[in-house]
Chain A
Amino acid sequence: MIVEIADLTKVYQDKHQRVTAVDGIDLTVEQGELFGLLGPNGAGKTTTIGICTTRTLPTSGGVSIAGVDVVARPAAARRNIGVVPQFNTLDRSLTIFENLYYHCKYFGFSGTEARERANTLLKQFLLDERCESFPSQLSGGLQQRVQIARAIAHRPAVLFLDEPSAGLDPQSRIAMWDAVRALRQEGITVVLTTHYMEEADELCDRVAIIDHGKLLALDAPQRLKTTLGADTVIELELRQSDHTQPLAGKLNSLPQIKSIETMPDGLRIFAHGTDGLLPQIVQAAQSYGVRDISISEPSLETVFIRLTGRDLRE
């Protein structure tokens, strides 16, 4: 176990209000894992990462990284931590090479070691041509790559990425995913937060779904999706969508249908197998007027909706 979060709570209290950002989160991350914290904005992901990376003090509970308590021994814990925060924190007064070089110096590398490490990273992240540039001369995607290179320069045990693809164009996002996957070969454990379910699905070995500071579910993306007991999601849009209760009851008796949710403009049906199912649904719904019918595989988003009753993007 490389990251251990135990009963973590963070309450922000000022004169006007009291906000519980993290509400009793317990979780552990294994060595070498690519772990995702998935949740909407304001779910408590960034606060959780803030506590893990010694920048936020918990109200109660604790975190240990590679066996070091981050609250009691923050300076020692930082040796094991690499961070890429949400905002760009590259040193604007230094070149790309110097950003990496001085970061190594902060972590006690000798001049020669720091130079070698910086050059290796520049090659590994395909940045050698830009080594003399200043951060402001680089595109957002490239700056993000430098931030990742810098975060792992001191060979931390765990790399924390807070919303790594926020503000990146699709191409840079895919390049960033490749860079993160490559870290795995070096044995670095990665913990990332995201509100893009594709990102969690695509990248992570395990995903923790968080909302309102609470941990709602934790498993591999595939397992999370199959816990629905369904492999197909059918969305039925109806012309008359007010009294759908009898229709839902009728459909629920079909053996392939696992569960049904009422939506403002129709029904969302979770089914196992679709053989011969669609005609039966269409026939049953005839009197309501079928406007549209769509079939998809369950995604982490449907899992999230099942857990919270809300859309991730709301």
Chain B
Amino acid sequence: MSPAKNVSYSTAFAGLLLRDLRVMRRELGPFVVRVVMQPLLFLFVFTYVFPHIGQAGAVGGTNFATVLLPGLMAVAIMFSGIAAVALPLSQEFGVTREIDDRVMCPLPVPAVAIEKICFSAIQSILAALLVLPLAYFIPATPVHAHVANWPMLIATLILASLVAGALGLTIGSNVKPQQIGLVFSIVVIPITFLGCVYYPWAVLSHVRWLQIVVLLNPIVYMSEGLRTALTPGVPHMPALMIVAALLLSLAILGRFGIKGFLRRVIS
């Protein structure tokens, strides 16, 4: 590939990212509300209201707020990925066909799909960071979190966000707009509830079969990765296993997503 071609590809790619950032800037308020609402209420009910009404819980010997923080960040990453890619993409494919102009960029079509994943990852990282201050201000019991492992935090944030984007792309390019709600119920909600968000993976040893089945769920590795980096006091998986599993999820979902995207735009 000639250098000139590389330059033209990267400027086209940058153009696509700028476009998406412009649209996000215009909808910044709704974006923040969408991201913050769920963790805000979660923390409020389970870590503020519950302790006050004498229902304070602890999981595996750690206070619930500390267990919850990395999990809620993982959920925020997941939901942003889906909201940033799956919903708009299924609209653009199905109803408006407006993806066409971007597919006609002087870029290989898979790069257009990859741009979607990257942009979604940017949103996911912002969403995860928005959860952090909430965890400091709301819970009645203090959250024991500090960055214990910067490389792990950065690696998990980036990989988890890319995985969420790839999942969003897979859903968006394979699901009809009228079925998106159904996919939420049968895919997105189960994988968040069973994503070791509200409990660390290690304590699932009491329900051994579940502990094994959830290994197929990429959110498990997001939550556990953030636990490793932020709340090392809570039991967590080995870091290497987390990174490897996230890379594998990215490879599989990325492949499905890009294939689905190509099938939708090239006949």
Chain B residue nearest to A78 (CB atoms) is: B106
In whole Å, how far is B5's beta carbon from the nearest beta carbon of chain A? 8
Given A55-B265, A94-B23, residue A103 in contact with residue B101 (CB < 8 A): yes
Closest Cβ neighbor of A55 among chain B residues = B266
**CB of B8, distance to nearest CB on chain A (Å):** 5
Q: B19 touching A75 by the CB < 8 A rule?
A: no
Interface residues of A in 197-254 (CB under 8 A from B): none
**Contact between B8 and A53, CB atoms less than 8 A apart:** no
Interface stretch (choices B10-18, B33-41, B127-135): B10-18
Q: Which of B9, B11, B26, B266 contacts A57 (CB 8 A)?
A: B266
Tell me, yes or no, whether A85 is within 8 Å of chain B by CB.
yes
Q: Does B103 contact A (CB under 8 A)?
A: yes
Contacts of B5 in A (CB 8 A): 76
Task: Please tell me if the beta carbons of A102 and B104 are within 8 angstroms of each other in the complex.
Answer: no
Instruction: Say whether, besides A78-B106, A79-B106, A94-B19, A106 and B267 are in contact (CB < 8 Å).
Output: no
Say whether B108 faces chain A, with CB atoms less than 8 Å apart: yes
CA distance A89 to B93 in the complex (A): 10
Tell me whether A125 is interfacial, beta carbon within 8 Å: no
Residues in B whose Cβ lies below 8 Å from that of A74: 108-109
Is residue A287 contacting chain B, with contact meaning CB distance below 8 A? no
Indicate if A145 sits at the interface (CB-CB under 8 A).
no
Give residues of chain A (40-66) contacting chain B, Cβ–Cβ below 8 Å: 50, 53-57
Assembled-state Cα–Cα distance A167/B5 (Å):
39
CB pair A102 B98 closer than 8 Å:
no
B18 lies within 8 A of A105 (CB): yes
Tell yes or no: A98 within 8 A of B by CB. Answer: yes
Return A268 CB to nearest CB of chain B, in Å. Answer: 40
Q: Are B22 and A102 in contact (CB under 8 A)?
A: yes
A90 x B265 contact (CB < 8 A): no
Do B104 and A83 touch (CB < 8 A)?
yes
Q: How far is the CB of A167 from chain B (nearest CB, A)?
A: 14
A81 close to chain B: CB less than 8 A: yes
A92 interfacial by beta-carbon distance below 8 Å? yes
Q: Which residues of B contact A108 (CB under 8 A)?
A: 7-8, 11-12, 15, 106
Cβ A56 vs Cβ B267 within 8 A? yes
- Give how many B residues have a beta carbon under 8 Å from the other chain's beta carbons: 31
List B residues 75-107 near A (Cβ within 8 Å).
96-107
Residues on A with beta carbons closer than 8 Å to the beta carbon of B12: 106-108
The answer to whether B15 and A50 touch across the interface, beta carbons within 8 angstroms, is no
CB-defined contacts of B109 to chain A, threshold 8 Å: 74
Nearest CB in chain A to that of B105: its residue: A106
Distance of A150 Cα from B102 Cα, bound (Å): 12
Which residue from B97, B99, B107, B265 sits with its C-beta under 8 Å from A75? B107
**Which residues of B160-190 have CB atoms within 8 Å of chain A's CB atoms?**
none
**Do the beta carbons of A93 and B23 come within 8 Å of each other?**
yes
Contacts of A92 in B (CB 8 A): 96, 98
Chain A residue with the shortest CB-CB distance to B24: A93
Q: How far is the CA of A261 from the CA of B197 in the complex (A)?
A: 79
**A106 and B9 within 8 A (CB):** no
B19 partner residues in chain A, CB cutoff 8 A: 91, 94, 98, 102, 105-106
**Pair B15/A78 contact, Cβ less than 8 Å:** no
A27 to chain B, nearest CB (A): 21
Q: Is the CB of B108 within 8 A of A87?
A: no
B106 pairs with A76, CB closer than 8 A? yes
Q: Which of B7, B8, B103, B105 is the most central at the interface, judged by chain A CB atoms within 10 Å of its CB?
A: B105
Cα separation A103 to B102 with both chains bound (whole Å): 8
- C-alpha spacing A50/B18, complex, angstroms: 28
Given contacts A75-B9, A91-B98, A102-B15, A81 and B23 within 8 Å (CB-CB)? no
In whole angstroms, what is the CA distance A88 to B97 when docked?
8
Instruction: List chain B residues, Cβ under 8 A from A106.
Output: 12, 15-16, 19, 101-102, 105-107
Q: Is the CB of A89 within 8 A of B97?
A: yes
Closest to B12 in A: A106
A56 touches B105 (CB 8 A): no
CA gap between A98 and B12 in the complex, in Å: 16
- Please report B residues at the A interface, Cβ cutoff 8 Å: 5, 7-9, 11-12, 14-16, 18-19, 22-23, 26, 96-109, 265-267
Other contacts beyond A105-B19, A106-B106: 11, CB < 8 A: A54-B266, A75-B106, A89-B98, A91-B98, A92-B96, A93-B26, A94-B22, A98-B22, A103-B101, A106-B19, A108-B15
13 contacts between A and B (CB under 8 A): A55-B266, A57-B266, A79-B8, A79-B106, A83-B104, A92-B98, A93-B26, A105-B18, A106-B12, A106-B102, A106-B106, A107-B15, A108-B106
